[in-house]
Structures are given as structure tokens and as C-alpha cells.
């Protein structure tokens, strides 16, 4: 075998084959969701059928059920509105909080950073009861605003912590140069630091969007009208009826629900990876 | 009125008007005459979607008649616990709410539920009276109205019965025998033994049928440690090892439906939902073109050596006392509980939603399909899960923590002896009833 041929084959054993099990493991849920959403109910119930294959023909009935007999597309739009709004708010606040914590020295700065991290650790299942009182007092119950306001309670600490790590990887010297040239703090942040920190910001935004998109508990508790539900709650409410689960419909909802996240990660994957790794090593 | 000034009457009129506008602006609310009255109702998604449609129709109709803006919100039953907790915490939310499963919410949320004594008294005579009125009174009051229950008959595969040379079973011993024969040909009996509502229902049914119970009539004495419980546990151990597959330990409420409709189980203890969904989806017997719904029959809940009793999810409806529309909510309940409306609602639900009112147990829907013929019989022997004790927050907690299924499972799987499993359950229950255990 020639040396060039060996060089071509080598990645197969050193890269592709070792990675293959992980790829299969990661993609299996998506694959299973997809084929379940196209199977007929009779096949879904049949224990003798092979669960990983479609053997009795494809049906679009579950997607039709979602589209025609539920408010699925309204829920989809609601999820999109809430997730985008909560992400924008959280990333902006996160940037403004992370910059001083990463760059400036002031009394209680470290403790404040730690407090933000601890806030992130408090689970929503503990917070939803007091938050329901807050949402009610603000008069936001049964509106999408209740979610836009409450999601940042777990997104801002996360974004702040992630961006703090990223900002610390950016050399201080370039900011100092900008300040020597007459930039103020805010200008330095906007004109110097942020353009350099785009991967970190995108990484934070992606995470925030994913967390908002998948959120279930607050969306269940704070919003009741069917037309205002988010996708996670709406699909669950409509397609689990007593002890009957509409598995095909549930999987169809899950498939469509995965798409925005998949699209977002495909477009920004490089930023995402560099954002994560840069923040991780500092 | 003078030509240059303002008369006293005009001044008073203008001042009153200005004060009124200021008041409206300050309060942030429209005056009563201009306000639209609103009533909201939170309920759980019914297994039969037409039930929800009929309820909505009645709610809309009542709203139109009374000039009230109405809103019916429907959620999955698994979400109700979280919703109730948050609404009580915020003292805000819906006016009417579904409660359950079980009557325990009446005790748990006793301080937050409006008294419904007047409504309960009004609606009962028109519907032949409540089935077991005393079961529904919590601390002597109507804090909720029992709304509907899905009775638990036994669903059985008639083709498999024929194959093993058996007829429709009637006792738990019959079911054990049939389950053994069925398991031998790859069609075991199936009942959940894990953390699910179905497991609570079936295992309590077996306990009562063998003369056991977990709490006395006084609602204080824990009676689980008895000879009868040991007999029931021995029976369940045999049922588990000889007639069922170990997977029942991990089953949820949907698993037995799936087992029957997949053509695997010879029988399950369940409401008619499995049959109805098999009929709707035209599921066939594996390896044939025959629809599985055609070979399913429903028989009465089994009898034991002592009794024939079962329980089910007691779905109820209540009105939060922090609602601003308590009277309107009561008015809608009176409307919904009118015989003609309840009749239409039961019809829409194919009888899956049987009200706790005597006349409704004789609804024509139960004669419309051979499969429904035993449902009124099952309703007659259906008691609350705390039977013979009263329903309390403690009895609800025993259910919510799945102590009964865990006790049976520990013994059936050989992890504990019968004495150990009973002693464990007894201690847990005593702590719950003594209030030493934190509420879930």
C-alpha cells in the first residue's frame, strides 16, 4: 500500500470509526422520533414489529393530526416569540453584567459573581411557586409576557457566567489601547470587546434559546389559554389523554420542535464550539 | 344659571363626573356596568375528546345566556397537580377547577375551596341523588362536587379464552388460573405494580376482595397489618410470578392499554379506554386481519373470597374561594349538572365519564354497546381509595407515595418477606397519618 493511500485510510480508523458510536448514540433519539412519527398506529402497537424500522408503510396522519386538530402552529409561533425575546433580553443583561464582573475590580465583585452562579443552581421546580405570586402581582398571568419576564431568571445567570469566562480570554491590552485612544467603558465594550467576543455571545444566545425553547414548567404554570400555550406544553396537553398516549403525534411534535434548534446549531456550530472552549480554559 | 358664572347644579354635576373619571383611572378598572363578567374553568383532557367539546359547548351556551365571557382551559391530567399548587400559592387563576384524581384535594385545599353545600343539595334530587353521599363530604362539608369516574371493569380477550378452554372469569382466583394458562401460551395477565394510579386501583381492589384494608373506619387506625393483608399478598405474589411478566413493575397508566391492544395480554383491569382506542385505531390481532376490538369483552371487576370492591379515579370539580366569581361558578355548575346536560355529556364520553349520580348510572349509553353492560355493576361496588376510612389529605398521600404497590412489589419480587413489607408499609402510613411525614 502506498504511503498516500495509507494517509487516506488512516482517518477512518483514527477518527471516523472511533467517533461513530458517539454519533449513533446522539442521533438515535432523533431517528427514533422520526420513524415513530411516520408509523401507523397499528404498527406502533404491534410487539412483533421491529421498532427501528417502518415495515407497514408510511403515514402522514400524525402530522395531519397535529396541524388540523390542534393549535400546534400557534404553539410553535408562541415558543418562537418567547424564546427569541427571552434570549435577546438575557444576552443583553448577561453582557452588561459579565463585563464588569470579568474586567473591573470592585468591592464584593467576586461574591457577586458567585451569587449569580448559585442563583443558576436553584431549580425551577422550587421557584415556580413564589414566581407564580410575582407573575400574578405583575398582572402578567395568562400572557406570553409572563414567560418573557420569568425565563431570564434562569437565563441571565447562565449567560453572565458563560460570558464572564469568555470575556476573560480576551486580552486586556486591546481594551487599554482603545481607552488610550479615548474610548469610554461603554464604547470599549461595544466597539472592541463585543466584536472580539462574538463566538461567546453566540454561544450564550444559542444556549439561552435552547433552554427557553425546551422550558416546560413555567410555561405550564403561568399560561393557561390553549392559544397562548408554548409547544412543549401544548403538545403534552393535547396528545396525552388520560391513559391514552398519541405516540405518533407526540413524536411528530417532537420532530418539528427539534428543527429550529437543529437549524440554529448548524448555522452557528463553529461559533458555538469556539465560544464554549474559549470560556472553558480560562 | 348666571351668565358669567357656573350654577351650583352644574358645578355638582361636573364635579361628580370628574370624580367618577378620576376614580375609574385610579382603580384601573371599568365601572361595574361596563365590565364584562368572566368565568374561567380549568379541566383535564378527557380520554374521549368529544367530552371536552360537549363541556365547552355547554360552557359557551351558559356564557351566552348569562352574558358572561367564558374560558375553558384543558390540560393533561398529569399537569393538574402543578397547576393547582401554583394557583393556590398565587391565590389567583381559574374560578372553577377540576380536582383529583381522588377526593383528597378537598382536605388538602380545604381552606381554599368554596363551600358547595347549596349546589350539591340542588343538583342531587334532579339526578336521582348522589351514589354515596357520605363518601364525598369532607369534614362534613361539600368542598367539591364529585364529577365523574371511569369505572374499572376487566377487559378480556375472548379468542384467547376459547383457545385455553375457559369462560369469562368472575373471581380473582379465576383470573389467576386464566393468567397462568395465558402466560404459558405467551399471553400473560397484566396489571401495573409500579408507581401508577392503575397499580393503586387494582391492588386496593384485591386487598378489599380478600377482606383487608389499610385504614379503619375512624380514619386514624392503620389496619394494614392483618391476616387478610397477608392472604392478599400471597395471592398477588402468585399472580405476579405465575400469571404476569416482570415488566408490570415498571408500567405506567398507559402500559396495560398498550399490552392489550398489542395483542399480548389476555386481560387487564382498566376502564374501557383500551377498547375504545383499539376500536378507533382499528388495531388488528397480530398475525391476522381481525380487529382486536372484536375479540375484547368487558366483565365485572373480580370478586374475592370476602367481597367484590374496586376503586377508580374520583374526578371532582370545585370553586376556589379566592375567585371573584364564586356565585357565577356555582351557577354554571347548576347548569352543567342539569339532567339533560349531564346526559349529553355522558353520551359524548361514551360512558367513560360516569357521574356519581344515581340516574346517570342508568344512562342509555351503557346499553348501547355490549361492552358497556357491566359498567353500572362496577360503579355499584366502587368506593373511594381510603375505604373504609374517610378521605383525608393523609389517605391521598398514601396513594401519591404508592405505598400499597411498593408493599406488594417488595414481597412479590422476594426483596422482603410479607412481614417485612407489611411492617414497612405500616410504619410509612402511621407516620403519614400522624402528620410526622412532610406532605408531598
Q: Do B76 and A221 touch (CB under 8 A)?
A: no
- Band (pLDDT 50/70/90 cuts) for residue B260 is very high
Looking at residue A43, its pLDDT comes to 86
Q: In this complex, which of A128, A220, A243 lies closest to B257 when CB atoms are compared?
A: A243
Number of Cβ pairs closer than 8 Å across A and B? 104
Query: Which residues in A lie closer than 8 A to residue B45 (C-beta atoms)?
Result: 237-238, 240-242
CA–CA distance, A60 with A62 (Å, rounded to integer): 6
Q: What are the angstrom distances between the C-alpha of B88 and each of A194, B71, B321?
A: 45, 19, 10
CA distance A73 to A79: 10
Backbone φ, ψ for residue B296 (5° rounding): -105, 135
Match 401507523 to its residue by C-alpha cell.
Answer: A40
Contact B76 A42 (CB under 8 A): no
Distance CA B7, CA A99 (A): 66
**pLDDT at residue B96 tops 90:** yes
Are B284 and B371 within one domain?
no
CB distance B382 to B149 below 8 Å: yes
Interface probe with A: pick from B75, B186, B197, most Cβ of A within 10 Å: B75
Distance to chain A for B258, nearest Cα, Å: 7
pLDDT in tens, B245-254: 999 999 999 8
Residue B14 covered by a domain: no
H/E stretch holding A34: helix A17-38
- Which of A133, A241, A243 faces B89 most closely, judged by CB atoms? A133
Measure A280 CA to nearest chain B CA, in Å: 37
Roughly what angle, to the nearest 10 degrees, separates helices B197-209 and B403-412? 70
pLDDT at residue B186 tops 60: yes
**B142 shares its domain with B210:** no
Retrieve residue B400's grid coordinates: 401519591
Q: Which domain holds residue B349?
A: 37-150+312-379
CA distances to B97, B114, B263 from B111, in Å: 15, 8, 48
Same structural domain, B170 and B220: yes
| CATH assignment of the domain containing B76 | 3.40.190.10
B396, part of any domain: no
Q: What is the mean pLDDT of chain B?
A: 90
Kindly state the average pLDDT of the residues B340-363.
94
What is the mean predicted confidence (pLDDT) over B351-368? Answer: 93
Assigned CATH topology for domain A63-281: MetI-like fold (1.10.3720)
C-alpha pair distances (Å), A72 with each of A168, A242, B291? 43, 20, 31
pLDDT of residue B289: 86
Between chains, do B93 and A244 touch, taking CB under 8 Å as contact? no
Q: Is residue B108 part of a domain?
A: yes
Question: Do both B140 and B234 map to the same domain?
Answer: no
Q: Are residues B333 and B414 in the same domain?
A: no
Question: In 10 A of CB B106, how many CB atoms?
Answer: 29
Burial level of A19, CB count in 10 A (0-12/13-18/19+)?
exposed
Q: Does B387 fall in a domain? A: no
Closest CA to A230 of A214, A206, A250: A214
Which residue from A minimizes the CA distance to B48?
A241
> What 8-state DSSP symbol labels residue B13?
H
Average pLDDT of adjacent 10-residue blocks, chain A of 282 residues? 79 90 93 95 83 92 94 96 97 94 86 86 88 91 94 93 89 89 89 90 93 95 93 92 88 95 87 67 48
Same domain, B302 and B320: no
Residues B146 and B241 in one domain: no
Q: Are the Cβ atoms of A242 and B46 closer than 8 angstroms?
A: yes
Domain membership flag for residue B392: no
What ipTM does the predicted assembly reach?
0.76
* pLDDT, tens only, B122-139: 999 999 999 999 889 988
Give the residue numbers in A contacting B (CB under 8 Å), as ranges: 41-42, 45-48, 128-130, 132-133, 135-136, 141, 217, 220-222, 224-226, 233, 236-238, 240-245
Which of A141, A222, A241 has its CB closest to that of B46?
A241
Query: Cβ of B93 and A47 within 8 Å?
Result: no
Residue B93 forms part of a structural domain:
yes
Please count the structural domains in chain B.
2
Question: Which pLDDT tens digit goes with each residue over B315-350?
Answer: 999 999 999 999 999 999 999 999 999 999 999 999
Shared-domain flag, residues B422 and B286 = yes
Query: Which of the two residues, B276 and B357, has the higher pLDDT score?
Result: B357
A243:B87 CB<8 A: no
B249 and B102 in one domain?
no
Domain residue spans in chain A? 3-45, 63-281
Residue corresponding to grid cell 389567583? B92
pLDDT of residue A3: 76
CB of B299 closer than 8 Å to CB of B169: yes
Determine the Cα–Cα distance for residues A16 and A276; give it in Å rounded to an integer: 23
Which residues in chain A have Cβ-Cβ distances shorter than 8 Å to B282?
42
- Calculate Rg over the CA atoms of chain A: 23
Q: What pLDDT does B343 receive?
A: 97
Residue A49's pLDDT is 84
- Report the predicted TM-score, pTM, of the whole model to 2 decimal places: 0.82
Does the beta-carbon distance from B89 to A135 stay under 8 Å? Answer: no
Strand pairing category for B267-269 and B154-157:
antiparallel
Residue B64 lies in a domain: yes
Nearest to residue A256, comparing CAs of A87, A67, A82? A67
Q: Long-range contacts: A105-114, Cβ < 8 Å, 24+?
A: A113/A161, A113/A164
The pLDDT assigned to B15 comes to 52
For residues B50 and B112, membership in a common domain is answered with yes
Residues B160 and B143 in one domain: no
Element (H, E) at A254: helix A247-281
Amino acid at each position: 500500500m502506498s504511503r498516500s493511500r495509507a494517509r487516506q485510510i488512516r482517518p477512518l480508523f483514527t477518527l471516523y470509526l472511533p467517533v461513530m458510536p458517539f454519533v449513533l448514540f446522539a442521533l438515535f433519539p432523533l431517528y427514533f422520533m422520526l420513524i415513530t412519527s411516520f408509523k401507523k398506529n397499528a404498527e406502533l402497537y404491534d410487539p412483533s414489529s421491529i421498532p427501528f424500522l417502518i415495515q407497514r408503510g408510511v403515514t402522514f396522519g400524525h402530522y395531519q393530526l397535529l396541524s388540523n386538530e390542534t393549535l400546534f402552529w400557534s404553539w410553535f409561533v408562541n415558543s418562537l416569540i418567547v424564546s427569541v425575546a427571552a434570549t435577546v433580553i438575557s444576552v443583553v443583561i448577561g453582557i452588561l453584567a459579565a463585563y464588569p464582573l470579568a474586567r473591573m475590580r470592585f468591592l464584593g465583585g467576586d461574591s457577586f459573581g458567585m451569587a449569580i452562579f448559585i442563583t443558576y443552581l436553584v431549580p425551577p421546580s422550587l421557584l415556580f411557586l413564589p414566581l407564580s405570586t410575582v407573575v400574578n402581582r405583575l398582572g402578567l398571568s395568562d400572557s406570553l409576557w409572563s414567560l418573557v419576564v420569568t425565563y431570564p431568571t434562569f437565563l441571565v445567570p447562565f449567560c453572565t457566567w458563560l460570558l464572564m469566562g469568555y470575556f476573560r480570554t480576551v486580552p486586556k491590552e486591546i481594551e487599554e489601547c482603545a481607552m488610550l485612544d479615548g474610548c469610554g467603558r461603554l464604547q470599549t465594550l461595544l466597539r472592541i470587546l463585543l466584536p472580539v467576543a462574538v463566538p461567546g455571545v453566540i454561544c450564550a444566545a444559542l444556549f439561552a434559546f435552547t433552554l427557553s425553547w425546551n422550558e416546560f414548567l413555567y410555561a405550564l404554570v403561568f399560561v393557561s389559554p390553549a392559544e397562548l400555550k408554548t409547544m412543549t406544553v401544548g403538545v403534552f396537553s393535547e396528545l396525552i389523554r388520560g391513559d391514552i398516549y398519541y405516540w405518533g403525534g407526540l413524536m411528530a411534535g417532537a420532530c418539528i420542535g427539534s428543527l429550529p434548534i437543529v437549524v440554529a446549531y448548524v448555522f452557528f456550530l463553529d461559533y458555538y464550539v469556539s465560544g464554549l472552549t474559549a470560556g472553558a480554559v480560562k | 344659571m348666571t351668565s358669567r358664572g357656573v350654577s351650583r347644579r352644574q358645578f355638582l354635576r361636573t364635579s361628580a363626573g370628574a370624580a367618577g373619571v378620576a376614580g375609574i383611572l385610579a382603580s384601573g378598572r371599568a365601572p361595574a356596568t361596563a365590565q364584562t363578567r368572566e368565568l374561567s374553568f380549568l379541566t383535564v383532557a378527557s380520554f374521549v375528546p368529544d367530552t371536552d367539546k360537549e363541556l365547552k359547548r355547554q360552557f359557551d351556551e351558559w356564557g351566552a345566556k348569562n352574558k358572561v365571557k367564558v374560558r375553558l382551559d384543558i390540560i393533561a391530567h398529569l399537569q393538574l397537580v402543578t397547576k393547582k399548587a401554583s394557583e393556590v400559592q398565587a391565590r389567583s387563576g381559574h374560578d372553577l377547577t377540576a380536582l383529583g384524581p381522588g377526593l383528597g384535594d378537598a382536605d388538602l385545599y380545604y381552606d381554599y375551596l368554596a363551600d358547595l353545600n347549596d349546589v350539591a343539595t340542588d343538583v342531587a334530587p334532579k339526578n336521582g341523588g348522589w351514589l354515596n353521599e357520605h363518601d364525598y363530604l369532607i369534614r362534613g362539608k361539600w368542598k367539591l362536587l364529585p364529577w365523574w369516574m371511569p369505572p374499572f371493569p376487566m377487559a378480556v380477550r375472548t379468542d384467547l379464552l376459547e383457545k385455553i378452554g375457559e369462560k369469562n372469569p368472575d373471581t380473582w382466583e379465576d383470573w389467576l388460573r386464566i393468567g397462568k394458562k395465558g402466560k404459558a401460551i405467551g399471553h400473560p395477565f397484566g396489571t401495573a405494580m409500579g408507581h401508577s394510579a392503575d397499580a393503586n386501583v387494582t391492588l386496593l381492589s384485591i386487598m378489599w376482595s380478600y377482606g383487608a384494608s389499610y385504614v379503619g373506619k375512624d380514619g386514624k387506625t392503620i389496619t394494614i397489618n392483618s391476616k387478610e393483608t397477608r392472604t392478599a399478598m400471597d395471592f398477588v405474589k402468585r399472580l405476579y410470578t405465575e400469571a404476569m411478566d416482570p415488566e408490570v413493575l415498571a408500567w405506567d397508566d398507559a402500559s396495560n392499554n398498550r399490552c392489550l391492544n398489542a395483542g399480548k395480554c389476555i386481560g387487564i383491569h382498566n376502564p374501557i379506554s383500551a377498547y375504545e382506542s383499539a376500536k378507533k385505531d382499528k388495531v388488528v390481532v397480530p398475525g391476522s386481519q381481525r380487529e382486536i376490538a372484536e375479540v375484547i369483552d368487558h366483565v365485572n371487576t373480580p370478586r374475592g373470597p370476602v367481597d367484590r370492591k374496586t376503586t377508580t379515579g374520583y374526578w371532582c370539580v370545585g370553586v376556589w374561594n379566592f375567585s371573584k366569581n364564586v356565585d357565577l361558578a356555582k351557577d354554571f355548575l347548576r347548569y352543567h349538572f342539569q339532567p339533560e346536560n349531564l346526559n349529553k355529556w355522558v353520551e359524548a364520553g361514551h360512558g367513560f365519564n360516569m357521574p356519581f349520580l344515581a340516574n346517570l348510572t342508568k344512562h342509555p349509553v351503557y346499553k348501547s354497546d355490549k361492552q358497556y353492560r357491566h359498567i353500572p355493576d362496577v360503579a355499584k361496588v366502587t368506593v373511594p381509595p381510603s375505604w373504609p376510612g374517610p378521605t383525608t389529605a393523609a389517605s391521598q398521600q398514601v396513594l401519591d407515595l404508592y405505598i400499597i404497590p411498593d408493599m406488594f412489589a417488595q414481597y412479590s419480587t422476594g426483596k422482603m418477606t410479607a412481614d417485612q413489607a407489611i411492617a414497612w408499609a405500616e410504619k410509612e402510613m402511621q407516620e403519614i397519618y400522624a402528620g410526622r411525614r412532610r406532605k408531598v
